[in-house]
Structure 1
Amino acid sequence: MTAEQLTQVMSTLSVQDSEQLEELIGCARYGELEEIQTLVKSSEPEKAKVLLSHQDEYGKTPLHMAAANGHLDVVEYLITVISPGAVNTQNEQGNTALHWAAMNGHTQVVETLITKGKADHKIKNVAGHTALIEAQIHEREKVVAWMLINTELDEDPKENNDDDDDSESSSSDSDIPNPVSS
């Protein structure tokens, strides 16, 4: 679907479509895969793709909610039916589905988003944090370990990238969760 076609379909979204989007977001939040599949099948294919890629007033998509809540089956399904690139949609705080999965410790969802969904792990939210940094901040050691092993690292996970402080970062090794006890 071209950008022009996507814009044309989006301009025809009705109040009923907005209600359907809210229903899709709710189903994704609670892991109701069969309900999502039924809703998708009841729509025209292009309209379903637009609805699944569309954001609510807070910038959330069904993929955000499924990833945040660790619903791997829903995430796997959604990445096969959403518009290309929609896996990297950012909400109003700049978080992608990958950020939410990482900060909530859903390692399999993180892996699926990156390997199957081609999620960009380098996207930063409004706080300047990538999904890896969010996982580190929230002490999600398994997610941090998986991302360090399986993604290209262009950042120091010891730094939280906080721009609030003009002074030099004084991160120490104790800031990183250490899976090996001494």
Structure 2
Amino acid sequence: MTVPTIDERDELLLSCRYGELEEVQQFVEKYGKEIVSDIKDENGNTVLHMVSGNGHLEVLNYLLTIVSPSIIGVLNNSRSSPLHWAALNSHLAVAKTLVEFPGGPGVDLIDIKNDAGRTPLGEAEMAGWDEGARWFVEVMKLDEKADPEDELRLADSVEDIEVEIEDANGEIARMSISRHEGP
């Protein structure tokens, strides 16, 4: 098997960016599927970043048959995953394919924060993509609630409660709630 040149690797990334399935398939026929998972641009973007950011579901489905499932969770130099790129550009079918791919990271992808401190859900919210944000919330792992009876007993024994809330931008708001007895 011959080794692709830097220009040929760049051409593969461009083919993924523009959704050129035949060109991607020709690259794989010529150089083999093993090398595809390792190809990145100068910013650390993989073939999956390129297809995910541009919504090329057909190319994504093809690539997922030949690359290692671990590439789904690869972060670029800004610590963004292909799912971040799909969310930023409002590509629901791509986002679902990445999250639901057997053997991949699954819903854990939704919790990854990039250098801007945003998860894919945060990126969807920043982009104003309500449909995607709703879907992420529907499928993501939410902390399991404790038994309500335990929470009531705990609340009776606590004088002050400290609350931290994280917004879509990753900012933390802190609040103290005091238990007030009497009128």
Range into which the TM-score falls when normalised by the shorter chain? 0.7 to 0.9
Matches of 1:169 and 1:54 in 2, distance apart?
Answer: 43
- The answer to whether structure 1 residue 61 and structure 2 residue 46 are counterparts is yes
| Residues 1:77 and 1:121: Cα distance change in structure 2 (over 3 Å) | same
Sequence identity, in percent? 35
The normalised TM-score by structure 2 is 0.73
Map of 1:87 onto structure 2: 72
Q: Once superposed, what is the RMSD of the aligned Cα atoms?
A: 2.3
| Residues 1:157 and 1:82: Cα distance change in structure 2 (over 3 Å) | farther
Return the offset for 1:159: 3.5
User: Which structure has more strand as a fraction of its residues?
Assistant: 2
SS in structure 1 of the partner of residue 69 of structure 2: coil
Q: How many residues align?
A: 149
Map of 1:140 onto structure 2: 129
| Residues 1:85 and 1:56: Cα distance change in structure 2 (over 3 Å) | same
Map of 1:6 onto structure 2: none
Identify unmatched segments of 5+ residues in structure 1: 1-12, 171-182
- Whichever residue aligns with residue 24 of structure 2, its letter is I
Identify unmatched segments of 5+ residues in structure 2: 144-164, 176-183
Matches of 2:31 and 2:45 in 1, distance apart?
Answer: 20
The normalised TM-score by structure 1 is 0.73
Consecutive aligned runs of 4 or more in structure 1 exceeding 6 Å deviation: none
Return the offset for 1:50: 2.6
Matches of 1:130 and 1:78 in 2, distance apart?
Answer: 24
SS in structure 1 of the partner of residue 111 of structure 2: coil
Return the offset for 1:157: 7.3
Query: In terms of Rg, which structure is larger?
Result: 2
Matches of 1:58 and 1:28 in 2, distance apart?
Answer: 15
1:81-160 aligned at under 5 Å gives the runs 81-116=66-101, 118-119=104-105, 120-153=109-142, 158-160=167-169
Matches of 2:37 and 2:22 in 1, distance apart?
Answer: 15
